[in-house]
Structure 1
Amino acid sequence: MTGHFTAPAAALADQLPGWVTLLRAPNPGPMTLDGTNTWLLRAPGQEHAVVVDPGPADEEHLAAVAARGPIGLVLITHGHPDHTEGSPRLRDLLDGVPVRAADPAHTLGGEPLTTPGDSLGGPGLDIRLVPTPGHTGDSVCFVVAHGDERVVLTGDTILGRGTTVVAHPDGHLGDYLASLELLSTYRGIPALPGHGPALADCAAAAEFYLAHRRARLDQVRAAVAEGATTAAEVVAKVYADVDRSLWWAAEWSVRAQLEHLGRESGAGTAGLEQA
Protein backbone atom coordinates (compact mmCIF):
# COMPACT_ATOMS: atom_id res chain seq x y z
CA MET A 1 0.00 0.00 0.00
CA THR A 2 1.15 3.51 -0.76
CA GLY A 3 1.34 5.51 2.43
CA HIS A 4 1.03 9.23 3.02
CA PHE A 5 4.23 10.72 1.63
CA THR A 6 5.77 13.72 3.40
CA ALA A 7 9.45 13.60 2.36
CA PRO A 8 10.94 15.38 -0.68
CA ALA A 9 10.15 13.62 -3.96
CA ALA A 10 13.75 14.06 -5.14
CA ALA A 11 17.11 15.04 -3.69
CA LEU A 12 17.31 18.58 -2.37
CA ALA A 13 19.19 21.14 -4.39
CA ASP A 14 22.65 21.73 -2.92
CA GLN A 15 22.65 25.32 -4.13
CA LEU A 16 20.73 27.58 -6.46
CA PRO A 17 22.00 29.94 -9.13
CA GLY A 18 23.19 33.26 -7.75
CA TRP A 19 20.41 35.03 -9.65
CA VAL A 20 17.67 33.22 -7.64
CA THR A 21 16.49 34.50 -4.23
CA LEU A 22 13.85 32.90 -2.00
CA LEU A 23 11.63 35.13 0.14
CA ARG A 24 9.33 32.85 2.15
CA ALA A 25 6.00 34.20 3.41
CA PRO A 26 5.14 33.75 7.10
CA ASN A 27 2.09 31.53 6.47
CA PRO A 28 3.15 28.02 7.48
CA GLY A 29 0.51 25.32 7.75
CA PRO A 30 -0.51 21.80 6.72
CA MET A 31 -1.22 22.91 3.14
CA THR A 32 1.53 25.54 2.80
CA LEU A 33 4.36 23.62 4.55
CA ASP A 34 6.92 26.23 5.70
CA GLY A 35 5.00 29.01 3.95
CA THR A 36 4.52 30.24 0.40
CA ASN A 37 7.74 30.62 -1.59
CA THR A 38 8.07 33.96 -3.34
CA TRP A 39 10.91 33.69 -5.85
CA LEU A 40 12.89 36.70 -7.02
CA LEU A 41 14.96 36.37 -10.20
CA ARG A 42 17.57 38.96 -11.19
CA ALA A 43 20.25 38.32 -13.80
CA PRO A 44 23.76 39.42 -12.82
CA GLY A 45 24.39 43.05 -13.64
CA GLN A 46 20.73 43.76 -14.39
CA GLU A 47 18.69 46.37 -12.57
CA HIS A 48 15.19 44.92 -12.77
CA ALA A 49 14.06 41.63 -11.25
CA VAL A 50 11.10 39.33 -11.83
CA VAL A 51 8.96 38.07 -8.95
CA VAL A 52 7.08 34.78 -9.05
CA ASP A 53 4.10 34.39 -6.66
CA PRO A 54 3.72 37.36 -4.28
CA GLY A 55 2.09 35.15 -1.65
CA PRO A 56 -0.48 36.18 0.96
CA ALA A 57 -1.51 39.71 1.85
CA ASP A 58 1.08 39.99 4.60
CA GLU A 59 2.37 43.56 4.74
CA GLU A 60 5.78 42.71 6.16
CA HIS A 61 6.39 40.03 3.55
CA LEU A 62 5.27 42.24 0.67
CA ALA A 63 7.42 45.11 1.93
CA ALA A 64 10.42 42.74 2.03
CA VAL A 65 9.74 41.75 -1.59
CA ALA A 66 9.34 45.37 -2.71
CA ALA A 67 12.58 46.27 -0.94
CA ARG A 68 14.41 44.00 -3.41
CA GLY A 69 13.34 46.30 -6.26
CA PRO A 70 13.38 47.58 -8.83
CA ILE A 71 11.06 44.85 -10.10
CA GLY A 72 9.74 44.89 -13.66
CA LEU A 73 7.28 41.97 -13.73
CA VAL A 74 5.28 39.75 -11.38
CA LEU A 75 4.30 36.23 -12.52
CA ILE A 76 1.71 33.89 -10.99
CA THR A 77 1.85 30.08 -11.05
CA HIS A 78 -1.84 29.60 -10.17
CA GLY A 79 -4.70 31.43 -8.55
CA HIS A 80 -4.89 30.03 -5.02
CA PRO A 81 -4.97 32.84 -2.43
CA ASP A 82 -1.75 31.81 -0.69
CA HIS A 83 0.02 32.68 -3.96
CA THR A 84 -2.03 35.64 -5.22
CA GLU A 85 -3.67 37.44 -2.31
CA GLY A 86 -0.74 39.84 -2.00
CA SER A 87 -0.66 40.73 -5.71
CA PRO A 88 -2.71 43.98 -5.60
CA ARG A 89 -0.79 45.36 -2.66
CA LEU A 90 2.59 44.39 -4.10
CA ARG A 91 1.62 46.04 -7.38
CA ASP A 92 0.81 49.23 -5.45
CA LEU A 93 4.17 49.09 -3.68
CA LEU A 94 5.87 48.67 -7.06
CA ASP A 95 4.08 51.60 -8.73
CA GLY A 96 1.87 49.55 -10.99
CA VAL A 97 4.18 46.79 -12.25
CA PRO A 98 2.17 44.29 -14.35
CA VAL A 99 1.05 41.02 -12.76
CA ARG A 100 0.56 38.21 -15.28
CA ALA A 101 -1.30 34.95 -14.67
CA ALA A 102 -3.10 32.38 -16.81
CA ASP A 103 -6.40 33.37 -15.22
CA PRO A 104 -7.47 36.90 -16.24
CA ALA A 105 -8.94 37.30 -12.74
CA HIS A 106 -5.41 37.34 -11.33
CA THR A 107 -3.86 39.42 -14.13
CA LEU A 108 -3.32 43.08 -13.29
CA GLY A 109 -2.10 45.65 -15.80
CA GLY A 110 -0.93 43.13 -18.37
CA GLU A 111 -2.02 40.30 -20.64
CA PRO A 112 -2.97 36.82 -19.36
CA LEU A 113 -0.50 34.00 -19.92
CA THR A 114 -1.80 31.91 -22.80
CA THR A 115 0.66 30.44 -25.30
CA PRO A 116 3.02 27.57 -24.37
CA GLY A 117 6.63 28.52 -24.91
CA ASP A 118 5.92 32.24 -24.81
CA SER A 119 8.99 34.29 -23.89
CA LEU A 120 8.01 36.45 -20.93
CA GLY A 121 11.02 38.72 -20.87
CA GLY A 122 13.09 39.71 -17.88
CA PRO A 123 16.39 41.51 -18.44
CA GLY A 124 19.15 38.96 -18.94
CA LEU A 125 16.76 36.04 -18.38
CA ASP A 126 14.95 33.75 -20.78
CA ILE A 127 11.59 32.96 -19.17
CA ARG A 128 9.33 30.46 -20.94
CA LEU A 129 5.72 29.62 -20.12
CA VAL A 130 4.89 25.93 -19.56
CA PRO A 131 1.14 25.36 -18.94
CA THR A 132 0.76 22.53 -16.41
CA PRO A 133 -2.94 22.22 -15.51
CA GLY A 134 -4.03 19.62 -13.00
CA HIS A 135 -3.50 20.93 -9.47
CA THR A 136 -5.77 23.72 -10.69
CA GLY A 137 -7.05 24.49 -14.16
CA ASP A 138 -4.85 27.59 -14.39
CA SER A 139 -1.59 26.10 -13.10
CA VAL A 140 1.55 26.99 -15.05
CA CYS A 141 5.30 26.54 -14.60
CA PHE A 142 8.13 28.75 -15.77
CA VAL A 143 11.43 27.55 -17.22
CA VAL A 144 14.01 30.26 -16.62
CA ALA A 145 17.50 30.29 -18.13
CA HIS A 146 20.53 32.50 -17.73
CA GLY A 147 23.52 31.33 -19.71
CA ASP A 148 23.95 27.61 -19.10
CA GLU A 149 21.87 27.62 -15.91
CA ARG A 150 18.19 26.69 -15.88
CA VAL A 151 15.49 26.29 -13.23
CA VAL A 152 11.82 25.28 -13.34
CA LEU A 153 9.42 27.19 -11.10
CA THR A 154 6.73 24.61 -10.40
CA GLY A 155 4.18 26.37 -8.16
CA ASP A 156 2.07 23.67 -6.49
CA THR A 157 2.39 21.21 -9.37
CA ILE A 158 5.51 19.84 -7.65
CA LEU A 159 6.16 20.64 -4.00
CA GLY A 160 9.42 20.62 -2.09
CA ARG A 161 8.03 18.01 0.34
CA GLY A 162 5.22 15.53 0.03
CA THR A 163 2.71 15.48 -2.79
CA THR A 164 0.14 18.02 -3.89
CA VAL A 165 -3.64 17.75 -4.12
CA VAL A 166 -5.68 17.81 -7.29
CA ALA A 167 -8.17 20.52 -6.37
CA HIS A 168 -11.35 18.99 -7.82
CA PRO A 169 -13.47 20.16 -9.60
CA ASP A 170 -11.14 22.89 -10.89
CA GLY A 171 -8.21 20.50 -10.94
CA HIS A 172 -8.30 17.44 -13.20
CA LEU A 173 -6.26 14.28 -12.68
CA GLY A 174 -5.85 13.46 -16.38
CA ASP A 175 -4.43 16.93 -16.95
CA TYR A 176 -2.20 16.56 -13.91
CA LEU A 177 -0.72 13.27 -15.10
CA ALA A 178 -0.03 14.81 -18.52
CA SER A 179 1.63 17.80 -16.84
CA LEU A 180 3.86 15.50 -14.79
CA GLU A 181 4.83 13.64 -17.97
CA LEU A 182 5.85 16.98 -19.47
CA LEU A 183 7.85 17.99 -16.39
CA SER A 184 9.60 14.61 -16.41
CA THR A 185 11.47 15.81 -19.51
CA TYR A 186 13.38 18.48 -17.53
CA ARG A 187 16.16 16.14 -16.49
CA GLY A 188 18.75 17.47 -14.07
CA ILE A 189 17.14 20.91 -13.82
CA PRO A 190 16.34 22.21 -10.31
CA ALA A 191 12.69 22.60 -9.37
CA LEU A 192 11.75 25.72 -7.39
CA PRO A 193 8.40 24.85 -5.81
CA GLY A 194 5.64 27.00 -4.39
CA HIS A 195 6.17 25.46 -0.96
CA GLY A 196 9.08 23.63 0.66
CA PRO A 197 12.74 23.36 -0.34
CA ALA A 198 14.14 23.44 -3.86
CA LEU A 199 14.73 20.04 -5.49
CA ALA A 200 17.79 19.09 -7.51
CA ASP A 201 15.99 17.36 -10.39
CA CYS A 202 12.55 18.35 -11.71
CA ALA A 203 12.30 15.17 -13.81
CA ALA A 204 13.06 12.87 -10.87
CA ALA A 205 10.39 14.56 -8.77
CA ALA A 206 7.84 14.36 -11.59
CA GLU A 207 8.56 10.66 -12.11
CA PHE A 208 8.13 9.98 -8.40
CA TYR A 209 4.82 11.86 -8.43
CA LEU A 210 3.63 9.86 -11.44
CA ALA A 211 4.38 6.56 -9.72
CA HIS A 212 2.71 7.75 -6.52
CA ARG A 213 -0.43 8.90 -8.35
CA ARG A 214 -0.73 5.65 -10.26
CA ALA A 215 -0.36 3.67 -7.05
CA ARG A 216 -3.10 5.79 -5.45
CA LEU A 217 -5.35 5.13 -8.43
CA ASP A 218 -4.88 1.41 -7.90
CA GLN A 219 -5.86 1.87 -4.26
CA VAL A 220 -8.98 3.81 -5.22
CA ARG A 221 -9.97 1.10 -7.70
CA ALA A 222 -9.56 -1.48 -4.94
CA ALA A 223 -11.58 0.57 -2.43
CA VAL A 224 -14.47 0.88 -4.88
CA ALA A 225 -14.27 -2.84 -5.67
CA GLU A 226 -14.45 -3.54 -1.93
CA GLY A 227 -17.70 -1.59 -1.67
CA ALA A 228 -16.84 2.06 -1.02
CA THR A 229 -19.81 4.05 -2.32
CA THR A 230 -18.85 7.64 -1.47
CA ALA A 231 -15.72 9.73 -1.84
CA ALA A 232 -15.57 9.99 1.94
CA GLU A 233 -15.57 6.20 2.26
CA VAL A 234 -12.73 5.96 -0.25
CA VAL A 235 -10.74 8.51 1.75
CA ALA A 236 -11.28 6.51 4.94
CA LYS A 237 -9.86 3.41 3.25
CA VAL A 238 -7.08 4.87 1.13
CA TYR A 239 -5.95 7.76 3.33
CA ALA A 240 -6.32 6.08 6.72
CA ASP A 241 -2.70 6.99 7.55
CA VAL A 242 -3.33 10.71 6.95
CA ASP A 243 -4.27 12.99 9.83
CA ARG A 244 -8.07 13.37 9.80
CA SER A 245 -7.67 17.17 9.78
CA LEU A 246 -6.43 16.78 6.17
CA TRP A 247 -9.13 14.40 4.95
CA TRP A 248 -11.05 17.29 3.38
CA ALA A 249 -8.05 17.92 1.08
CA ALA A 250 -7.67 14.20 0.39
CA GLU A 251 -11.31 14.15 -0.67
CA TRP A 252 -10.51 16.73 -3.38
CA SER A 253 -7.99 14.29 -4.85
CA VAL A 254 -10.30 11.29 -4.44
CA ARG A 255 -13.07 13.04 -6.33
CA ALA A 256 -10.58 13.80 -9.09
CA GLN A 257 -9.43 10.17 -9.06
CA LEU A 258 -12.99 8.86 -9.29
CA GLU A 259 -13.74 11.20 -12.16
CA HIS A 260 -10.58 10.02 -13.93
CA LEU A 261 -11.46 6.35 -13.43
CA GLY A 262 -14.96 6.99 -14.73
CA ARG A 263 -13.59 8.58 -17.90
CA GLU A 264 -11.04 5.79 -18.26
CA SER A 265 -13.67 3.05 -18.10
CA GLY A 266 -16.53 4.91 -19.74
CA ALA A 267 -18.62 4.30 -16.63
CA GLY A 268 -20.25 7.05 -14.65
CA THR A 269 -19.04 7.87 -11.14
CA ALA A 270 -21.38 10.76 -10.46
CA GLY A 271 -22.93 9.02 -7.49
CA LEU A 272 -19.56 8.53 -5.85
CA GLU A 273 -18.34 12.05 -6.69
CA GLN A 274 -21.40 13.79 -5.31
CA ALA A 275 -21.77 11.72 -2.14
Structure 2
Amino acid sequence: MDEPAAPGEQATPFTRLLLAPNAGPMTLGGTNSYVLRAPGASSVVIVDPGPDDHGHLSRLASAGRVELVLVTHHHADHVEGLDAFHRMTDAPVRAIDPVHCFAAEPLTDSELVVAAGLEIHVLATPGHTADSACFVLAGDGDFGSVLTGDTILGAGTTIIADPDGSLGPYLHSLGRLRALGAPGPTTVLPGHGPVLPDLTAVCDAYLTHRAERLEQVRGALRQLGDDASTEAVTDVVYFDTDASVRSAAEASVRAQLRYLRGIA
Protein backbone atom coordinates (compact mmCIF):
# COMPACT_ATOMS: atom_id res chain seq x y z
CA MET A 1 0.00 0.00 0.00
CA ASP A 2 1.32 3.46 -0.90
CA GLU A 3 2.08 5.91 1.90
CA PRO A 4 -0.47 8.75 2.09
CA ALA A 5 0.48 11.97 0.30
CA ALA A 6 -0.47 14.03 3.35
CA PRO A 7 0.18 11.80 6.36
CA GLY A 8 -0.99 12.47 9.86
CA GLU A 9 -3.87 14.21 11.56
CA GLN A 10 -4.74 17.80 10.64
CA ALA A 11 -4.06 19.60 13.91
CA THR A 12 -4.42 23.21 12.74
CA PRO A 13 -4.75 24.86 9.32
CA PHE A 14 -0.95 24.90 8.94
CA THR A 15 0.05 21.70 10.76
CA ARG A 16 -0.39 17.95 10.64
CA LEU A 17 0.54 15.70 13.57
CA LEU A 18 2.18 12.28 13.19
CA LEU A 19 2.46 10.23 16.37
CA ALA A 20 5.67 8.20 16.61
CA PRO A 21 5.48 4.58 17.81
CA ASN A 22 7.50 5.15 20.97
CA ALA A 23 4.92 5.21 23.77
CA GLY A 24 6.22 4.92 27.33
CA PRO A 25 6.17 6.42 30.83
CA MET A 26 8.20 9.45 29.75
CA THR A 27 6.76 9.87 26.23
CA LEU A 28 3.06 9.33 26.99
CA GLY A 29 1.47 8.01 23.79
CA GLY A 30 4.64 8.73 21.82
CA THR A 31 6.50 11.69 20.35
CA ASN A 32 4.46 14.14 18.28
CA SER A 33 6.18 14.98 14.99
CA TYR A 34 4.68 17.84 13.01
CA VAL A 35 4.45 18.65 9.30
CA LEU A 36 4.12 22.40 8.67
CA ARG A 37 2.95 23.89 5.37
CA ALA A 38 1.01 26.96 4.29
CA PRO A 39 -1.90 26.29 1.92
CA GLY A 40 -0.57 25.93 -1.61
CA ALA A 41 3.09 25.67 -0.57
CA SER A 42 5.26 23.21 -2.50
CA SER A 43 7.45 22.24 0.47
CA VAL A 44 7.10 21.34 4.14
CA VAL A 45 8.87 21.93 7.43
CA ILE A 46 9.25 19.00 9.82
CA VAL A 47 9.42 19.64 13.56
CA ASP A 48 11.01 16.87 15.67
CA PRO A 49 11.39 13.77 13.44
CA GLY A 50 11.39 11.68 16.61
CA PRO A 51 12.80 8.17 17.07
CA ASP A 52 14.84 6.23 14.52
CA ASP A 53 11.84 4.30 13.23
CA HIS A 54 11.89 3.72 9.48
CA GLY A 55 8.13 3.63 9.06
CA HIS A 56 7.59 6.86 10.96
CA LEU A 57 10.40 8.68 9.18
CA SER A 58 9.18 7.43 5.79
CA ARG A 59 5.71 8.81 6.47
CA LEU A 60 7.22 12.17 7.37
CA ALA A 61 9.35 12.16 4.23
CA SER A 62 6.28 11.37 2.11
CA ALA A 63 4.58 14.61 3.14
CA GLY A 64 6.37 16.55 0.39
CA ARG A 65 9.71 18.15 -0.33
CA VAL A 66 11.24 18.79 3.07
CA GLU A 67 12.66 22.30 3.02
CA LEU A 68 13.76 22.40 6.65
CA VAL A 69 13.82 20.40 9.87
CA LEU A 70 13.38 22.24 13.19
CA VAL A 71 14.19 20.74 16.59
CA THR A 72 12.56 21.74 19.88
CA HIS A 73 15.31 20.20 22.04
CA HIS A 74 17.93 17.47 22.03
CA HIS A 75 16.28 14.58 23.92
CA ALA A 76 16.55 11.32 22.03
CA ASP A 77 12.82 10.73 21.64
CA HIS A 78 12.72 13.91 19.53
CA VAL A 79 15.99 13.68 17.58
CA GLU A 80 17.16 10.06 17.45
CA GLY A 81 15.91 9.77 13.85
CA LEU A 82 17.58 12.96 12.61
CA ASP A 83 20.56 11.29 10.94
CA ALA A 84 18.41 8.79 9.04
CA PHE A 85 15.87 11.47 8.13
CA HIS A 86 18.61 13.75 6.80
CA ARG A 87 19.82 10.90 4.58
CA MET A 88 16.26 10.44 3.29
CA THR A 89 15.58 14.11 2.55
CA ASP A 90 18.90 16.01 2.51
CA ALA A 91 17.02 18.75 4.36
CA PRO A 92 18.93 21.21 6.55
CA VAL A 93 18.42 20.95 10.32
CA ARG A 94 18.29 23.83 12.76
CA ALA A 95 18.22 23.84 16.56
CA ILE A 96 19.12 26.12 19.45
CA ASP A 97 22.19 23.99 20.21
CA PRO A 98 23.50 22.40 17.00
CA VAL A 99 26.03 20.27 18.87
CA HIS A 100 23.32 17.88 20.06
CA CYS A 101 21.04 17.94 17.05
CA PHE A 102 22.89 17.31 13.81
CA ALA A 103 22.24 20.96 12.96
CA ALA A 104 24.40 23.06 10.67
CA GLU A 105 23.20 26.43 11.94
CA PRO A 106 21.89 27.41 15.38
CA LEU A 107 18.53 29.04 15.90
CA THR A 108 18.43 32.29 17.84
CA ASP A 109 15.76 33.69 20.12
CA SER A 110 13.20 35.89 18.33
CA GLU A 111 14.47 34.79 14.92
CA LEU A 112 11.99 34.70 12.04
CA VAL A 113 12.30 31.56 9.91
CA VAL A 114 10.57 31.68 6.52
CA ALA A 115 9.93 28.27 4.96
CA ALA A 116 7.10 26.26 3.37
CA GLY A 117 5.19 29.50 2.86
CA LEU A 118 5.16 30.19 6.59
CA GLU A 119 6.63 32.74 8.97
CA ILE A 120 7.86 30.75 11.98
CA HIS A 121 8.89 32.78 15.02
CA VAL A 122 11.52 31.17 17.25
CA LEU A 123 11.11 31.53 21.00
CA ALA A 124 13.96 30.24 23.16
CA THR A 125 12.31 28.62 26.19
CA PRO A 126 15.04 27.12 28.40
CA GLY A 127 13.97 25.19 31.47
CA HIS A 128 13.00 21.65 30.53
CA THR A 129 16.43 21.63 28.88
CA ALA A 130 18.87 24.45 28.27
CA ASP A 131 18.29 24.24 24.51
CA SER A 132 14.48 24.09 24.49
CA ALA A 133 12.68 26.18 21.89
CA CYS A 134 9.09 26.82 20.84
CA PHE A 135 7.91 27.76 17.37
CA VAL A 136 5.11 30.29 16.93
CA LEU A 137 2.79 30.36 13.90
CA ALA A 138 0.99 33.66 14.31
CA GLY A 139 -1.38 33.22 11.36
CA ASP A 140 -2.37 29.64 12.10
CA GLY A 141 -6.13 29.83 12.73
CA ASP A 142 -7.90 32.64 14.58
CA PHE A 143 -5.27 33.23 17.27
CA GLY A 144 -2.22 31.33 16.07
CA SER A 145 -0.50 28.24 17.36
CA VAL A 146 2.73 27.38 19.14
CA LEU A 147 4.74 24.16 18.96
CA THR A 148 6.01 23.67 22.50
CA GLY A 149 8.12 20.49 22.45
CA ASP A 150 8.39 19.31 26.05
CA THR A 151 8.14 22.81 27.54
CA ILE A 152 4.38 22.23 27.67
CA LEU A 153 2.86 18.76 27.31
CA GLY A 154 -0.61 17.80 26.20
CA ALA A 155 -1.22 15.91 29.46
CA GLY A 156 0.30 16.36 32.90
CA THR A 157 3.34 18.55 33.44
CA THR A 158 6.90 18.36 32.20
CA ILE A 159 10.08 17.70 34.18
CA ILE A 160 12.97 20.05 34.74
CA ALA A 161 15.82 17.86 33.50
CA ASP A 162 18.45 18.96 36.03
CA PRO A 163 21.34 19.63 35.59
CA ASP A 164 20.65 20.53 31.95
CA GLY A 165 17.31 22.08 32.79
CA SER A 166 16.71 24.78 35.41
CA LEU A 167 13.61 26.01 37.21
CA GLY A 168 14.29 29.76 37.17
CA PRO A 169 14.60 29.95 33.39
CA TYR A 170 11.61 27.60 33.05
CA LEU A 171 9.35 29.92 35.04
CA HIS A 172 10.53 32.82 32.88
CA SER A 173 9.81 30.78 29.74
CA LEU A 174 6.27 30.05 30.92
CA GLY A 175 5.76 33.78 31.45
CA ARG A 176 6.91 34.53 27.90
CA LEU A 177 4.60 31.85 26.51
CA ARG A 178 1.68 33.13 28.54
CA ALA A 179 2.11 36.55 26.97
CA LEU A 180 1.50 35.01 23.54
CA GLY A 181 -2.04 34.09 24.53
CA ALA A 182 -3.55 37.57 24.06
CA PRO A 183 -5.98 38.54 22.61
CA GLY A 184 -7.45 35.05 22.22
CA PRO A 185 -6.79 31.35 22.81
CA THR A 186 -3.59 30.25 21.07
CA THR A 187 -3.49 26.55 20.16
CA VAL A 188 -0.80 24.46 21.89
CA LEU A 189 0.93 21.81 19.75
CA PRO A 190 2.90 19.80 22.35
CA GLY A 191 5.72 17.30 21.93
CA HIS A 192 3.63 14.62 23.67
CA GLY A 193 -0.07 14.22 24.33
CA PRO A 194 -3.11 15.85 22.71
CA VAL A 195 -3.34 19.29 21.16
CA LEU A 196 -4.63 21.87 23.66
CA PRO A 197 -6.93 24.80 22.85
CA ASP A 198 -5.74 27.62 25.11
CA LEU A 199 -2.08 28.51 25.77
CA THR A 200 -2.89 31.07 28.48
CA ALA A 201 -4.95 28.59 30.48
CA VAL A 202 -2.23 25.95 30.23
CA CYS A 203 0.50 28.38 31.32
CA ASP A 204 -1.61 29.49 34.28
CA ALA A 205 -2.10 25.85 35.32
CA TYR A 206 1.62 25.11 34.93
CA LEU A 207 2.63 28.15 36.97
CA THR A 208 0.15 27.21 39.70
CA HIS A 209 1.48 23.65 39.72
CA ARG A 210 5.08 24.87 40.04
CA ALA A 211 4.17 27.15 42.93
CA GLU A 212 2.41 24.26 44.69
CA ARG A 213 5.38 21.94 44.17
CA LEU A 214 7.78 24.54 45.52
CA GLU A 215 5.65 24.90 48.63
CA GLN A 216 5.66 21.11 49.04
CA VAL A 217 9.46 21.10 48.79
CA ARG A 218 9.66 23.90 51.37
CA GLY A 219 7.43 21.81 53.64
CA ALA A 220 9.68 18.77 53.18
CA LEU A 221 12.72 20.85 54.09
CA ARG A 222 10.98 22.10 57.23
CA GLN A 223 10.28 18.47 58.12
CA LEU A 224 13.65 16.99 57.13
CA GLY A 225 16.05 19.91 57.58
CA ASP A 226 17.49 22.40 55.12
CA ASP A 227 20.31 20.04 54.11
CA ALA A 228 17.99 17.16 53.25
CA SER A 229 19.03 15.04 50.28
CA THR A 230 17.26 14.96 46.95
CA GLU A 231 16.24 11.36 47.59
CA ALA A 232 14.69 12.18 50.97
CA VAL A 233 12.76 15.15 49.62
CA THR A 234 11.55 13.08 46.67
CA ASP A 235 10.25 10.44 49.08
CA VAL A 236 8.09 13.10 50.74
CA VAL A 237 6.96 15.20 47.78
CA TYR A 238 6.60 12.46 45.17
CA PHE A 239 5.61 9.64 47.52
CA ASP A 240 3.00 8.33 45.08
CA THR A 241 5.22 8.40 41.98
CA ASP A 242 5.61 5.21 39.99
CA ALA A 243 9.08 3.67 40.02
CA SER A 244 9.28 4.00 36.23
CA VAL A 245 9.48 7.80 36.51
CA ARG A 246 11.34 8.04 39.82
CA SER A 247 14.49 9.39 38.12
CA ALA A 248 12.46 12.16 36.51
CA ALA A 249 10.95 13.09 39.87
CA GLU A 250 14.42 13.27 41.41
CA ALA A 251 15.61 15.51 38.57
CA SER A 252 12.73 17.90 39.21
CA VAL A 253 13.43 17.91 42.96
CA ARG A 254 17.10 18.71 42.34
CA ALA A 255 16.01 21.63 40.17
CA GLN A 256 13.60 22.87 42.84
CA LEU A 257 16.21 22.59 45.58
CA ARG A 258 18.74 24.49 43.47
CA TYR A 259 16.13 27.19 42.86
CA LEU A 260 15.22 27.52 46.55
CA ARG A 261 18.88 27.54 47.55
CA GLY A 262 19.61 30.32 45.07
CA ILE A 263 21.79 28.20 42.81
CA ALA A 264 19.61 28.21 39.68
- The answer to whether the superposition gives a TM-score over 0.5 is yes
Residue 164 (structure 2) aligns with:
170
Residue 224 (structure 1) aligns with:
221
Matched, 1:29 2:24: yes
2:106 pairs, out of 103, 109, 112, with: 112
- Percent identical: 49
Count of residue pairs the alignment pairs up: 249
Residue 195 (structure 2) aligns with:
198
The one-letter code sitting in structure 1 at the alignment partner of 2:76 is P
Cα RMSD over matched residues?
1.6
Instruction: Output the CA distance in 2 between the equivalents of 1:99 and 1:140.
Output: 14
Alignment of 1:60-99 (within 5 A): 60-94=55-89, 96-99=90-93
Structure 1 unaligned residues grouped into runs of 5+:
1-14, 270-275
Displacement of 1:18: 2.7
Report SS of the residue matched to 1:146.
coil
CA contact (8 A) 2:110 2:123 kept: yes
Q: 1:258 to 1:98 in 2, by over 3 A?
A: same
Partner deviation per Cα, 1:88-130 (whole Å, 9 max, x = no partner): 1111100x2101001121454631112x221111132110000
Instruction: Output the CA distance in 2 between the equivalents of 1:146 and 1:70.
Output: 22
Instruction: Output the CA distance in 2 between the equivalents of 1:222 and 1:38.
Output: 39
Instruction: Output the CA distance in 1 between the equivalents of 2:175 and 2:64.
Output: 36
Report SS of the residue matched to 1:192.
strand
Q: 1:147 to 1:57 in 2, by over 3 A?
A: closer
CA contact (8 A) 1:97 1:109 kept: no
Instruction: Output the CA distance in 2 between the equivalents of 1:235 and 1:52.
Output: 34
Higher strand share: 2
The one-letter code sitting in structure 2 at the alignment partner of 1:160 is G
TM-score (norm 2): 0.90
Structure 2 unaligned residues grouped into runs of 5+:
1-9
2:94 pairs, out of 97, 100, 106, with: 100
Residue 154 (structure 1) aligns with:
148
- More off after superposition, 168-177 vs 97-106: 97-106
The one-letter code sitting in structure 1 at the alignment partner of 2:123 is V
- More relative contact order in 1 or in 2 (CA 8 Å, sep 6+)? 1
Q: 1:204 to 1:81 in 2, by over 3 A?
A: same
Displacement of 1:56: 0.6
Partner deviation per Cα, 1:189-215 (whole Å, 9 max, x = no partner): 001000000100111111100110110
CA contact (8 A) 2:13 2:140 kept: no
Instruction: Output the CA distance in 1 between the equivalents of 2:116 and 2:27.
Output: 30
Displacement of 1:61: 0.6
Report SS of the residue matched to 1:104.
coil
Instruction: Output the CA distance in 2 between the equivalents of 1:57 and 1:186.
Output: 33
Report SS of the residue matched to 1:27.
coil
Residue 40 (structure 1) aligns with:
35
Displacement of 1:236: 0.7
TM-score (norm 1): 0.87
2:116 pairs, out of 117, 123, 145, with: 123
Report SS of the residue matched to 1:49.
strand
- More off after superposition, 145-154 vs 120-129: 145-154
Instruction: Output the CA distance in 1 between the equivalents of 2:115 and 2:238.
Output: 43
Residue 57 (structure 1) aligns with:
52
